[in-house]
Amino acid sequence: MVELHSNFTADGERKFVDGMEPTHHAEHETIEITQGITDWSEVGFYIFTSERSGQGIQWLATTSAPASALP
- Closest CA relative to residue 26, chosen from 50, 62, 58, 3: 50
Look at residue 29 in the predicted model and tell me its pLDDT.
96
- Name the burial class of residue 4, with classes exposed (0-12), middle (13-18) and buried (19+) by CB atoms within 10 angstroms of its CB: exposed
Q: What is the pTM of this model?
A: 0.77
pLDDT, one tens digit for every residue, the chain (71 residues)? 999 999 999 998 899 899 888 888 999 999 999 999 999 999 999 999 999 887 889 999 999 999 999 87
Predicted pLDDT at 19: 86
Report the C-alpha gap between 22 and 34 in whole angstroms: 31
Q: How far is CA 2 from CA 9, 30, 52, 68, 69, in A?
A: 23, 10, 24, 18, 20
Query: In the prediction, which pLDDT does 21 show?
Result: 84
